[in-house]
Every structure is written in C-alpha cells, then in structure tokens.
Structure 1
Amino acid sequence: MAPASLNGSAQYPEHDLSEFPASLKGKRILLCTESFGPVNGVSRTTLMLVNHLRDHGVQVAVVAPHNHTNTNTFSPPPSPTLSPADKQPEVRVTGYPLPFNPELSIVYPVRNSTLYSRTFGDDAPPDLIYLASPASLGFQVMLQLRQQPKEKQIPVICNFQTDLAGYCSILFPAPLSHAAVFAFDAVQSYLFRHSSIKTIFYPSRFVRRYLESQKIQSNKLEVLTRGVNTTMFNPSRRSEALRKEIAPNGEIIFVTVSRIAGEKGFDFLAKVAKELDARGLPFKMLIVGGNRNPDVEKEVQELFDPLRTKGSVVFAGFKVGEDLATAYASGDVFLHCSVTETFGLVVLESMASGVPVVARDEGGPSDIVSHGDTGYLVPPDDLDGFVAKAVKLAEDHQLRLTMAKQARAAACEATWEKINNKVAWRMADTIVQREEEQRKAPQQSESAAVSTAAAAQQLVPVYGWLMMNNALRETVTRSVVDARLMGGLGVILSFWVITGAYVAFTEGLLWAKGRMRAGDRNAPLSK
C-alpha cells in the first residue's frame, strides 16, 4: 500500500498511516479536553484517540472538568503494556456548568504546574500537550505556556472541533453576541499564532477558512477528519419492530440525532416538520438526543407543537451503543439541520448505517455528503429546497436504496485506525523536532531565565494564579509589563466577563420561564 500523506507541507515527513509510530511508545502525553464522556461527537472522538494511544503503549493523562450530570461518564482503561498504571490518570478539575449544556463547564483557574504534578509528577513534565477542542481549559494552558522561556515551552497540538464563535452568534442575544464573537476570535487568534502551538488539526474546509481569517499560520493547519465504527453503525441493525412501533401505518421515518439545544438548528427542523405535514406527506420524525437541562429541552420540544402532541414527532431521549445504532438504521432519511458543526459525526454514522442524508450546506457536513450520491446538500436558508429534497427521498424508494448503498460505501472508507495514527505520527514528529531543537539551541543562563520569567509575572493580582511557582511570586516588581502579554490578558479577561454575563442572563431567563410554566400548570381552568 502506498504511504498516505501526513500533510501538504515539508514541515514534517510523510508516513504510512497503517502503522503506529514506535518512537511514541512510553512518551508522556497530557491530553486536556473540555468534556469527557459519551455525550457528543467531540468526546467520542477523544475517547477513541486515548484508547488508541494507550493500546500502543503511550502514557496518556487525561484532564477534563467534572461531569456535573453524574451520568454518561467513562474512564478509559490504562495501557496494558505500561506500568504503573497510575501514571495514566484521569484528573477532573472544577468549573461552573453552562446552563444550556451542563456537560460543558467554564473551568476555574488552574495552573499548568498543578496539572503536571497531578498527572506525571513534578519531576516528569509531559513530552507534549494535546488540546481537544480547546476552550476555557485549553485557553488557560496555552496562555501560561506563552510566559515560559522558549526552552521550557512544551509543544502543543490542538484539535479544533468546536465552532465557539458560531455558537455565540446563535446563542447570545445582540449586542452580546457581537462582543462574544469578537472575544472568541481575538482569543483564538492570539493564542493559536504562538510558536508553542505546533499543529492545529481542523475537520473541514469551513473551519480552515475561519482559522485563516484569524491570521493563523497556514503551515500549522492540518486536516483531520473523523472515523466511524462501521461494525456498530451498520444497516444490519435495522429493526422492523422499532419501525412498527414508531410508524405503525408504514409512514416514512425521518431521523435526527443531536444534543437538544437551540444552536443545533431545531428551529429550522421544526419548520421543516410543519411544512412536510402541510404537504400531506405521511411521516414520522424520530429525534434522538436530550439535554441535561430540562428547561432547555422543553423549549426545543415545544417548537414542534402541535405535531409532537399528535405523535408525528417523537423525542426518544438519549441513546448510546447498540440502541443508538438501531435508531439510525431504522430510519429512512437522516435530516441534519445544524449549521455550527465543524465536522458532523452523526452524518457519518448515519451514512454508515445505510441512511441517506439531507443536510444544510454549511460546516463539516459539506465535506462529508456527496451531493446527489450519498444525500443532498441544501443552501442553509433554503427551507423549501430542504423540504423538497426530503420529500423526493421519501417518495422514491429506489433512489433511497441507491443512495443508502453509496452512503455505506463512502463511510467504510473512513477508519479510526488511520485517523488516530495520523495524530500519533504528528505527536511523534513534534516530540522529535523539540528534542533536536533543545540539543542545538544554546542554553540560556540561569540569570537570564529568571529575568525572563519574572518579567512575564509582573501582572495585576488577578493574574497570580498563572505564576509557575512560589519563588517567582516573590520576584514580582513594579517594572514595565510586556505589552503584548498584558494585551492578551485583557482579551482573555474580557472573554470571561462576557461569558459570565451570558451565564447569569441565561440562568435568570431559564428560572423565569420555569416559574411561568409552573404558574400555568397550577392556574385554575377557566369555566
């Protein structure tokens, strides 16, 4: 088999992605992620990578916020070839859960030195840091690395999997949305352009265009799609019993799998459902997913009334494993209405299940769906066009079968092994590159190192948590602060202020709506 290309630049060599890099075995990888549990595509992708690395003898320490829902958590097994296993811990840090998505948290300030100590120990810093979809935790890690002397900056690989700015533009009310988008753009641009960030994986052309618009160096950008478990997600899991339960009269079954939240395009999907009903199409719409915040879930469900109350739209709740695979395969057409997906793993899982897709042509699905072959892509605001394609697939049985076979074949080309090996090779090459740089670079004198570190620490008191150790805390003086570093701090702090304001706004809004619903339930019926 011909070697697969690792990237399109000369920065790193090419490798055979069917093989795992032997040089990575035994290396220490600190993996920080904003959520860790089978709650979304990002978490499932991260779990696949952790298991793959550990299976090949890599020491992986996982750092993630506490799961405030107390459900759907997991701890991947340690590497079977390394000892002791306690050098591959899962460390949970504290944070405040977001009201609209309690699986995610705003992580409270934490020092990198603390993370190193709690994972591999004070005397064994990680060889590399991997940031899965960096946000509140990842931003803190990157900002602190900027203050270290160059020779102590641990190299970082980021996987950009979540369009935070896009979510802000949908979730936040104006003018807060404009300020939040600006803050995210500024933070990500400031952090990603630093020399400690060696590679930024991106899942689709949509994301690359965004990163380039933020002036991120093109030689750092590397495409990384996702794989799919084609054994789990398989047309053979189609259940006639489930189909009979959902559509007893043989109606066409549309399926959607998504976290139940406003930013996932449910307002558009509700309009689609009502238009399908207005055209007289006999259908059932199965929506799989939920939200740990019942008020948010209730708001989305109410968008589908009165179709929900008469049984045309069915909310099935969270499903995982075989139950999720069965739900996919038992549908006829998959409808994807989110425009904020950087990849869209649910689209690939649907295709692997032999179910053609109708998706809005925005974000990751644009790179997954082959228009006219495995499904249809429709301009994001074209409601009539979306409904027309859904109706066409619903009414043409032979077209559905043809697209289903082509969708399955396309999904079988995406394997987790090659994708995770691609990440592993980039890790190995990055570590080797750093080791070579350290051998060649002249050693900075101790006095110069102290001077550099002290200058980076001369910041306002709120920044004290970023100091690397107690000795440096005592070296703070009144000398001039690095203007660029202070500028970065200002941007970061503005982000936290905006996010905090929005959290307070959302909490208050959800509380008020909850009280209103309770009042409506308790109100006496009019005569």
Structure 2
Amino acid sequence: MRILIVSDAWRPQTNGVVTTLSRTQNELEKAGHPTFVIGPDRFRTIPCPTYPEISLALNTNSKLSHLIEELQPQAIHIATEGPLGLAARKWCLRHGHPFTTSFHTRFPEYIKLRTGLPLGVGYRYLRWFHGASARTMVATHSLQKELSSKGFKNLVLWPRAVDTHLFYPRDKNFLKQPRPLFMYVGRVAVEKNIRAFLRLQLPGTKIVVGDGPQLDKLSKEYPEVVFTGVKKGEELASHFAAADVLVFPSHTDTFGLVMLEAMACGVPVAAYPVPGPIDVVINGETGYLNEDLAAAALSALSLDPHRCRAYAEKFTWPAITQQFLHNLAPISTQQDGKGRETSPISPPTEQKSGSHQLKQHI
C-alpha cells in the first residue's frame, strides 16, 4: 500500500513527533509499504510566532494538491493540525477520500501559556479538525479517555516505541559532574514546565539536554545547572545512559518518548502522575510518580536499571507500526462519478481503556 503522511512537523526539526513519524516511515518501508512524507521542507516557510525553530508552510493548497495527485497514495494520514494539515484535510474532503489523523500535541494548552487564549477555543478547533477523519490516533488510553470526554470521536490507539539498538545502558562515566545526575531531556520551552525541575532541591547535579526559546534565559537564571544544548544520535544516547534519573516535569505531553529512551538506557523516571507518565511509567518499578517531584526523583535512585531496560524492550517499532497500519483508512478504488467512496470504512476493533492498558497492550 502506498502511504502518504502529511505533517507540519518534519526534519530538520527535532522533537518527539518528528522522531515518531521518521521511524514509522522507515518501518513501513521495511514492511513493503512505500511511504512518503510531505512536510514544510517542500514549501516556502515562515518561522512560527514564539517558536522560530518551527517552520510554517505558506501557499500550501495548490502545491500540496499537485504533490498528492503525483504520489497517488492509497492511504493518507494527517499528522498535525497546522497549515499543511489543513490543506491536506481540505483536499481529502473535496475529493471524497477518507483519511486518518493523529493527536500528538496539546496545542490549546501551549497556546494558552503563550497568549492566554481560552482552552475551549483551542479544543473547539481541534474537534472540528479531527471530526472529519475516519480515525484519530492517540498515544495512550488515558489520553483517549480524556479526549473522548471532550467530545472527540473515532479515537484509536497508536502507542510509541523506542530504538533499543541506539538507547541502551552505557558507561556512566561519560559525564563527570558530581552525582547523582538528575537529567531533563527535551525542548527548553514554557509548556514543558522545566522550571519545576530547575527549582528542585536535589543533591548532585541537574543537567538539561535540549534547545528551545527559554534556553538563554534559564541558563542565566540557573547558573548551577548544566545546559548542554541539543544532542543527537550516539551522543544523546550516551547522555541518557550517564544519568541516574530522568526528571520529566511536563503536565502537557501526550506521551513523552524521552521516558522510554531513558528506561531503555537503564535510567528510571521521575514525573508527575498525569496522562503520559501514568501510561508509560510503572510506579515503583521503572520510575516514581508523585506530585512532589523532588520526592519522586530521590525515590527513583533506588530502582533497578535492569527492570527499566527490560520494560523498554517491550516497546518495539515493528509492533507499533503494525498498529498504525491497522488504523489507516485505505482509499477505496470503487468510487462514484464524483470521486466519492461508495463502500463504508469499517472501524478497527474497539480498544478498551483503563489504567496501564498501554503496558498490557505492548
């Protein structure tokens, strides 16, 4: 099956969405499904307001239509709700083609933090955007339940996975700072709630790995914290493995892939008991969840690295990609004179919600 993924988040951006889509494309290709990604790199762009590292595509409609018609996809997945996602959604509806979407990011919360726009406005837009899709893929059962309560329909599960060949236990002496080493990995941005980590009273050293709009400001405010900037590939994996605890302070992430990457390196996680961490972390085994983040971080020091690694090994990309493939809505070859599909799309088997169902699913 020829698969098209349309995403406003794509290389050279570095984030969980790009990592997930890149690896999914690779796994689909390995399984014999030609997969194409249309991202901002194919268009003239402008920097996203308050997020200059993110590029927003301009004049998307005509060029996107041409690209889709040239690629002749048999299934279309729209990964994001930005300019490219809107243009792809419009094209699919105009041609009567089914499509799927995915909910990666809590943009209403992000926008509220930056502009004060009420959450209700943002979620009204997202309900409208995803409401036209055959299925909306979400990373966890808790997010599925939450969005369902907000009026989202046709929600199905598409968890995340980790590259255990890249992320694995390594030499702790890679970093020389005084231990224990408490590490944050991710964007240095307001929605990540990174100040909650920086303010913690902890022994040893706090390390921040990543870049973002708050990097300069926070590095000046917290000179005792080690800010490394962005790390990739082997260097990133070595930083993960050298840590004693990964501290994940976000309240807004829909999954938090860095938690799996840390566990694959034998590093336990400290986080708040919120959607994302409650689906990924086994409390008291692969990390600790506590409203007192410092208590969670200190408790995590006692956990067994081998159990963290063993748990992460269950999250394999081939299995997760099969879930994605199963969720797709293929474009029917039997259409009426207006190009509309004549046979209904059968939804996948209903997936039950509940605590730690993600862990059981994997």
Q: TM-score, normalised by structure 2?
A: 0.86
Corresponding position of 1:252: 180
Query: 2:272 and 2:86 mapped to 1: Cα distance?
Result: 31
2:109 alignment partner AA:
G
Quick check: 1:192 aligned with 2:130? yes
Could you say what secondary structure the match of 1:36 adopts? coil
CA distance in 2, matches of 1:422, 1:231: 21
Instruction: Work out whether 1:421 is the aligned partner of 2:322.
Output: yes
- 1:407-458, Cα deviation, whole Å (9 max, x unpaired): 111111000001112212333xx327x34xx36xxx4579xx9xxxxxxxxx
- Displacement of 1:130 in angstroms is 1.0
Of structures 1 and 2, the one scoring higher in RCO (CA 8 A, sep 6+) is 2
Given that residues 168 and 266 in structure 2 are in contact (C-alpha distance below 8 angstroms), is that contact kept between their aligned partners in structure 1?
A: yes
Structure 1: which 4+ aligned runs deviate by more than 3 Å? 143-146, 443-446
Partner of 2:143: 207
Distance (Å, rounded) in 2 between the aligned partners of 1:352 and 1:372: 17
1:165-188 alpha-carbon deviations (Å, 9 max, x no partner): 12122222x3xx21xx33321221
Match for residue 354 of structure 1? 266
Deviation at 1:202, TM superposition (A): 0.1
Alignment-derived partner of residue 130 in structure 1: 77
- Aligned counterpart, 1:41: 16
2:96 alignment partner in structure 1: 153
Aligned partner of 2:26 in structure 1 is 51
Shift in alpha-carbon separation, 1:137–1:118, aligned structure 2, 3 A = closer
Kindly tell me: are residues 115 and 374 of structure 1, through their superposed partners in 2, closer, same or farther at Cα, counting changes over 3 Å? same
- Report the Cα distance in structure 2 between the residues aligned to 1:350 and 1:143, rounded to whole angstroms: 39
Aligned-residue CA RMSD (Å): 2.2
1:286 lines up with 2:207 in the alignment: yes
Tell whether 2:77 aligns with 1:115.
no
Asked if 2 retains the 8 angstrom alpha-carbon contact of 1:143 and 1:191, the reply is no
Count, aligned residues = 339
- Uncovered stretches (5+) of structure 2, i.e. residues with no partner: 341-362
Q: How does 1:126-525 map to 2 (within 5 A)?
A: 126-146=73-93, 148=94, 152-172=95-115, 174=116, 177-178=117-118, 181-194=119-132, 197-217=133-153, 220-235=154-169, 237-240=170-173, 242-243=174-175, 245-247=176-178, 251-272=179-200, 275-276=201-202, 281=203, 283-291=204-212, 293=213, 296-304=214-222, 308=223, 312-379=224-291, 385-394=292-301, 399-400=302-303, 402=304, 404-427=305-328, 430-431=329-330, 434-435=332-333, 438=334, 443-444=336-337
CA distance in 1, matches of 2:221, 2:275: 24
Q: Distance in 1 between matches of 2:99 and 2:28?
A: 17
Aligned in 2, Cα 1:445/1:41: closer, same or farther, shift over 3 Å? closer
- SS of the equivalent of 1:246 reads coil
**Aligned partners of 1:157 and 1:200 also within 8 Å:** yes
Q: CA deviation at 1:354?
A: 0.3
One-letter amino acid of the structure 1 residue matched with residue 145 of structure 2: R
Deviation at 1:32, TM superposition (A): 0.8
Post-superposition shift, 1:164?
0.8
Aligned to 1:21: none
1:36 positional shift: 1.3
Conserved in 2, the CA contact under 8 Å of 1:270 and 1:303?
no
AA at the equivalent of 2:171: R
What is the CA–CA distance in structure 1 between the aligned matches of 2:84 and 2:66, rounded to whole Å? 16
The AA in structure 2 aligned to 1:431 is: P
Offset at residue 153 of structure 1 (A):
1.6
SS class of match (1:323): helix
SS in 2 for 1:339: coil
Distance of aligned partners of 1:445 and 1:110 in 2 relative to their CA distance in 1, 3 Å threshold: closer
User: What percent of counterpart residues are identical?
Assistant: 27
Task: Quickly say closer, same or farther: Cα 1:153–1:300, change in 2 above 3 A.
Answer: farther
SS in structure 2 of the partner of residue 140 of structure 1: helix
- State the structure with more CA Rg: 1
- 3-state SS in 1 of match to 2:37: strand
Contact 2:271–2:296 (Cα < 8 Å) also in 1: no
Q: What is the identity, as a one-letter code, of the residue corresponding to 1:252? A: P
More helix, by proportion: 1
SS of 1:341 mapped into structure 2: coil
Distance 1:270 1:303, change over 3 A: farther
1:357 and 1:289, CA in 2 relative to 1: closer, same or farther beyond 3 A? same
TM superposition score normalised by structure 1 = 0.60
Distance 1:285 1:31, change over 3 A: same
Runs of at least 5 residues in structure 1 that lack an aligned partner in the other structure: 1-23, 67-91, 380-384, 450-527
| Residues 268 and 118 of structure 1, relative CA distance in 2, 3 Å threshold | same
> Could you tell me which residue of structure 2 aligns to residue 104 of structure 1?
54
2 CA distance for matches of 1:314 and 1:228? 26
